[in-house]
Every structure is written in structure tokens, then in C-alpha cells.
Structure 1
Amino acid sequence: MDQGKFNVLGIKVNAIDYDTTVEHVIAAAKARAPLTLSALAVHGVMTGALDPEQGYRLNHLDLVVPDGQPVRWALNLLHRANLSDRVYGPTLMLRICDRAASEDLPIYLYGSRETVLAALVKNLQQRFPRLRVAGYTPSQFKQVTATEQRQIAAAIVASGAQIVFVGLGCPRQEVWVYENRDLLAIPAIAVGAAFDFHAGLLPQAPTWMQKYGLEWLFRLGQEPGRLWRRYVLLNPQYIWLLMLQWLHLRRFEQPLPQPPEPLRYS
């Protein structure tokens, strides 16, 4: 089920479910066709709502799925999407890996740190014994030159991977998949904290907290120093702007006519 894209604070978010998202990714992987995807929670939406250049990038991704419950609720409130579930990035990653394993589609992991990636590969292959990991590259935590960007993309392509998962953190990972789409010509999927979760380095919120949109509170308790600004400042602003859009007191558009200058995060 994919109802198309709908405006949430100026960001075009797909009203879509897990099964259809996975089918889009697998079809593109088999065809060796480009497909850019990000799973956005409130923070991701707000990065685009507050920054026109980031909004442009997000609105030129092929799929933007509602990772957070408040994003799903916004689609239901504003556009009557009637979504019964979100498309949570860490769960989506596992579902794609399951299909990739069963259909012999090699994956690649880009981002995070060497130790995280090594643990992630081990855990994924224990969970999906038939999964082929074509390779992985940790983040350099810097901006690279155009030549270096092409070399990184070429190495991923040369590995034989047909799907690449990107874990650089929001908004760097969305910039990465947007800027590398045509260099890779395979599905590139931004999955945020999924690398740390599946590597066993960060615990996920209890199911009941996820269901009621309280995952942010759990994560704030885990990493208060890093995340307090994201949740304490952006969450109330998101609710306020969402109410303005719902009451038709403000229109949210992304009028930036030209692509932003490359950032080339790595």
C-alpha cells in the first residue's frame, strides 16, 4: 500500500506500509536501479522544515517513510491516510535484510565506526545466515572532495552490492543518499540508529513506548547530553507547526528552485 507523498510541514512523506516499502527496494535492487530512501522521525522532518536546502534534498528522495509515530499521526491527521503502523527504520532494515538473504542480494553497510560495523555484520549474519555482506566502510566523519566521493561510490559498486544501508545520523545520512544516488545506481537507505541497535550497542525502547510515540523519551534517558536539544526544543516546535498546518493558518512549501551545493559528507 503506497498512497503517494503528502505534505508534512513542507516535507513530502509517503503514506506507505512495510511490505510495499520492502517491495520497492527489492525491485530496484534486482534491476540495479537507483532508489533513495529515508525513514524520518520528527527530528528528520524538522531538519527539512527549518532548512530549505535540506528540505529540497528530502523532497527529491524517492521514498520518505514515516519512521516516527508522530509523523504517522500527522499523515493521518492532515491527509486522512489511515495508516495503522509506522515504517520504523530499524525494523525496515531487518525486513529488507531478510528478503535480501532469501533472494541472494548482497548488501553494503556505510557509516558509523569500525567496531560498530564489525558487530553489526556478525549479528546480521547470525540472524540471517544466507545474507551476503559485500563490504562495509566506516564514516570518515568529515567532508570529502568530489574525487573522493566518486571513489567511495565506485568501491561500493565494485563490491557487487545491490543494496547499501547508510548510518551516518540525521541529517548527514539523508544528504549522503541524495548526493550519491546517481553514482551508486542501487538502493541507498538511510536508517539512522539502526546500526547501533542491531550491533547491540544501544537498547531499543520497549514496545509500549514505541507504540505510543514515547521512544524519544527513552532515547533521551539513554543519551541526554547528545539528544536533549533535539527532543526538548524540536518536539514542541513540531507540534506547534503541525497545528498551524492542520488549522490552515500556515502553508508549508519548499520553493527552493535550484539544487543546493554539494556537502559531500562521508
Structure 2
Amino acid sequence: MTTGTTQDRVDVLGIHVSVTDMDHTVGTFARWIDAGERHLVCVSDMNALLHARADGELTKVYNTSGMTLPDGMPLVWAGKKAGFDRMERVCGPDLIERVMAESEQHGWSQYFYGGADGVAEQLRDTFTARHPGLKVAGVYSPPYRALSEAEDAEIVDKLNAAKPDIIWIGLGAPKQERWMAEHRDRLDAAILIGVGAAFDFHTGRLDRAPEWMQKAGLEWSYRLYKEPKRLWRRYVLGIPRFGVGILRQPPRPVA
């Protein structure tokens, strides 16, 4: 696995978040694919960051990734507070749509791994309908149970045989980050990227907040309204934890 980059990062509660925007992110992907480099990419919102900082192994995954993208306005605001005015939000659903368009032009092939039964197939059909020239090397939704070593090896062989440039992983954080770290050295694809709920947004299983709420950093409130029983703890407890943490440990550039 190729780890680390020369790009700027900002330390947000001990997690090194990439200073980037959508254009820079997609341009970086293009350079990696052209150069034959192999990286994993974490797409981090506030909740994922809080999970990562509480686990030393996850912190290592985020901090040695090819990129750890700021999927959430609180991370962008933290970056700007540290002096990185050019930092912008790069959220999973928007990134996957942008990369599909770029992939159609450049000939990059995709593999969709994760989601409930039928989700990966629907995602493939959705994007190939929008982008007729898009190459999708394969799809697979693994079972929720733990896999045996033989089953895992079979999946690795399946993914490598398909020869995708990018593998999109929709297992949810932090499961997808652990999976990427465990498999990065065994997979040939240039990019492994965990995008969590983006699979469900693009297949209509989840609704996105209005654009004005996304830009105002209020997308969390829309998701909480839609799924209060599942998400109340994440936001009611997570937002104060994040805010207090930032006050105690202000964001700063990573040396």
C-alpha cells in the first residue's frame, strides 16, 4: 500500500483531514490511476471522525490514507479555522456522481462493493443509465455475517479478476475503513474508497437534505428528522462532544 502524501492536512481532534475541494480530489484520483499508485480514501464526517479518534487503529487508517476527505461542514469550518481558506466539503454522494462523470470520459472502471441485497446492482444500473459509456467491472453485496478466510480470499480473487480502477465500498463507518485497511495490500485497484450512505442516497433508499441545508451545515438535522430512532444518539451526543473537543484542542496544520 502506498501511504501518506505531500498534500496539506489539518489536525482535527487528532485526525489528519485533507485540505482539498472537489476538483483537487478528482484530479488527485486521476494522477493516482495514471501513475499506477494504490491508495485508500476515507470520507469523514463528524461522526466518523469521533469514531476514529476513539480507536488507535482507526486513527492510523485515517492518518495514513491517501486522502481523508472532509464530508461535513464542521470539518471544513475546522480547516478554515486553522487557516486553510481553500478547504471545501467533499461529500460522498456528490463525489461518487462527479467521479462517474469523469470515469465515463477517462475510461476508468468501477466496482460497487457493499449495501443491502440488490443495492449494488441498482447503483450500477442507475449510473450506467446516467452515463452510458461508464465501465462497471462488477458489483457484490457481502453478507452481514463475518466471512471465513476462504470466503474472504474468494472475494479478493473476484475483485482482482474484475480489474477495476476504483472500488467503492458501502459498508458504513467504521466497518468500511477497517475493511479497506485489511484488504488494501491484497487488492490491485488504484483506489479503495468508503462512501457509506452514498449507495442508499443514489438508489433512492434515503432522501438528501435540501441544498441550502447542506451548505449551512444542517444536513444532520434533516437526517435526524428522517431517522430519529437510529440517529438521535449520533447527533444529540456527538455534536456537543465535537464542539467541546474543538475548544479544548483547536485545529492546526499537520507539520
Superposed pair shares fold, TM > 0.5: yes
Tell me which residue corresponds to 1:127. Answer: 130
**1:178 corresponds to which of 163, 166, 181:** 181
Q: Tell me what 2:86 maps to.
A: 83
Matched, 1:231 2:208: no
For residues 202 and 251 of structure 2, what CA distance do their matches in structure 1 show? 40
CA RMSD of aligned residues (A): 1.7
Q: Distance in 2 between matches of 1:247 and 1:100?
A: 34
- SS of the residue corresponding to residue 81 of structure 1 reads coil
Match in the other structure for 2:65: 61
Residues of 2 paired with 1:143 and 1:5: CA distance? 34
1:34 Cα shift? Answer: 1.2
Report the alpha carbon displacement of residue 114 of structure 1 after superposing the two structures with TM.
Answer: 2.4
* Correspondent of 2:37 among 33, 39, 47: 33
Hey, what does 1:136 align to over in structure 2? 139
Cα deviation for residue 3 of structure 1 reads: 4.7
Percent of residue pairs bearing the same amino acid type: 35
Structure 2: runs of 5 or more not aligned = 1-5
Matches for 1:191-206 after TM superposition, within 5 Å:
191-206=195-210
Q: Does 1:43 align with 2:47?
A: yes
SS in 2 for 1:204: coil
Superposition deviation, residue 150 in structure 1: 2.8
Structure 2 letter corresponding to 1:42: M
Residue 155 of structure 2 is aligned to residue 159 of structure 1 = no
Q: Deviations over 1:98-130 (max 9, x none)?
A: 111111111000001222222211111111111
Compared with structure 1, are the counterparts of its residues 188 and 74 closer, same or farther at alpha carbon in structure 2 (3 Å cutoff)? same
2:58 and 2:76 map into 1 onto residues whose CA distance is 21
Contact 1:110 1:136 (8 Å CA) reproduced: yes
Contact residue 139 and residue 168 of structure 1 kept, 8 A:
no
Structure 1: gaps spanning 5 or more residues: 249-266
Q: CA deviation at 1:146?
A: 3.7
Describe the superposition over 1:63-100 as per-residue Cα deviations: whole angstroms up to 9, x where unpaired. Answer: 101010001101111x2111352111111111111111
Deviation, 1:138, is 0.4
User: Which residue in the other structure is 1:98 paired with?
Assistant: 101
Give the TM-score taking structure 1 as reference length. Answer: 0.87
**DSSP 3-state at the match of 1:6:** strand
Find out whether 1:112 has 2:78 as its counterpart.
no
Give 1:31 deviation, angstroms. 3.9
- Distance across 1 between alignment mates of 2:67 and 2:240: 26
Separation in 2 of the partners of 1:178 and 1:25? 18
User: Measured at CA, do residues 209 and 247 of structure 1 come closer, stay the same or move farther in structure 2, by a change above 3 Å?
Assistant: closer
**Amino acid in structure 2 at the alignment position of 1:161:** P
- For residues 218 and 234 of structure 1, the distance between their equivalents in structure 2, rounded to whole angstroms, comes to 16
Q: How many angstroms apart in 2 are the aligned matches of 1:148 and 1:27?
A: 33
Tell me the TM-score normalised to structure 2 length: 0.91
What do the CA deviations read for 1:151-187 (whole angstroms, capped 9, x no partner)? Answer: 2122111012111101101111111112211111320
What letter is aligned with 2:58? Q
Cα displacement string for residues 199-245 of structure 1 (whole angstroms, at most 9, x for unaligned residues): 11111110011011111110111111211111111111001101111
Provide the rounded CA distance (Å) in 2 between the counterparts of 1:152 and 1:9: 35
User: How many residues of Structure 1 are paired with residues of Structure 2 in the alignment?
Assistant: 246
Q: Secondary structure at the match of 1:7?
A: strand
- 1:36 aligns to what SS in structure 2? strand
Q: Distance in 1 between matches of 2:152 and 2:27?
A: 29
Q: Quick check: 177-186 or 6-15, which moved more?
A: 177-186
Write the distance in 1 (CA, Å) between the matches of 2:34 and 2:203: 27
